[in-house]
Structure 1
């Protein structure tokens, strides 16, 4: 099961990386098209869609690597059971919020599909297509939060301490 979950997180991160490369290409195409006086319809909108997709698809991978912003001032002052209780509370609350976010993100994409909602820009893209990446990213993040919560309950959660965060706190 661990290998499957890690594959899911890494796969979402790889898709996020592909979206970032595609975003770079879209921005470069937009710049070149302006310099050469031709227009690519909707390229700015697609760049925005790719930027959002990259951000949402990378959420779970970032969480599992301990790279999300955390305020550890109170947490670091606590020891023993109080530390564990606060950690468990934070993970439970994070899990609840991630599940709600995933539910409403998927619901938004589904409603956009059901109502045939399209972009107001010149490309007229069906909005459920770019919203799908938000829903998928939110679902993978919710799975990652449930994973972290279960690991904490079982006492197997490794405390992620990224070096960058330690230097910035």
Structure 2
């Protein structure tokens, strides 16, 4: 049973890390698109839809980074309030992760629905690129599902282990020094 738990933990942490890597690749893609846009302006060539592609990459970077950022303690949390609560901190964290998990699964459901309907209706972007919208929306849906998994993971950890497993609280670390 313990081996299963370790395997699941490694799988989930690997998923969150993969989301962070995909987000980093998307940020590099944004840089490449901007550089390509500059080169096309200097040479007189055209790069139709470059702005839209940069926007799609930014959305993908944001959504894929959510779970990784949560795991690393990079999301804004009210650590001062949590620290002041002392032993009652667990109950506030339990409540917050329960609400966060419910909302993220709710959002994930509708993100998946948006992808489905964009695909079914063959909806395309209004820009010069005329990209099928389900393609950039797929990154949003995948990132949202990953965040929902992470929120649920941390909720389950609080319920059964008494701690959420977030690796770094920047405010908490500065208080200890």
TM > 0.5: yes
Q: Structure 2: how far apart are the matches of 1:16 and 1:159?
A: 19
How far off is 1:61 after superposition? 0.5
Normalising by structure 1, we get a TM-score of: 0.92
The SS at the match of 2:44 is coil
| CA distance in structure 1 between the aligned counterparts of 2:164 and 2:125, rounded to whole angstroms | 43
Q: Specify the alignment match of 2:5 in structure 1.
A: none
Is the counterpart of residue 21 in structure 1 residue 28 in structure 2? yes
Give 1:8's aligned residue.
15
* Counterparts of 1:43 and 1:64, CA distance in 2: 32
Root-mean-square deviation (Å)? 1.8
Corresponding residue for residue 162 of structure 1: 169
Unpaired stretches in structure 2, ≥5 consecutive residues:
1-7
Structure 1 residues 19-168: aligned runs within 5 Å: 19-80=26-87, 82-154=88-160, 155-158=162-165, 160-163=167-170
Distance 1:161 1:136 in 2: 25
Structure 1: runs of 5+ lacking an equivalent: none
The verdict on how the C-alpha distance between 1:85 and 1:126 changes in structure 2, with shifts beyond 3 A counting, is same
Q: Partners in 1 of 2:89 and 2:17 — Cα distance? A: 30
- Deviation, structure 1 residue 101: 1.1
Query: C-alpha displacement at 1:73, in angstroms?
Result: 3.4
Cα-to-partner distance string for 1:51-71 (whole Å, 9 max, x where unaligned): 110110011000011110112
Q: Distance in 2 between matches of 1:93 and 1:126?
A: 33
Q: TM-score, normalising length from structure 2?
A: 0.88
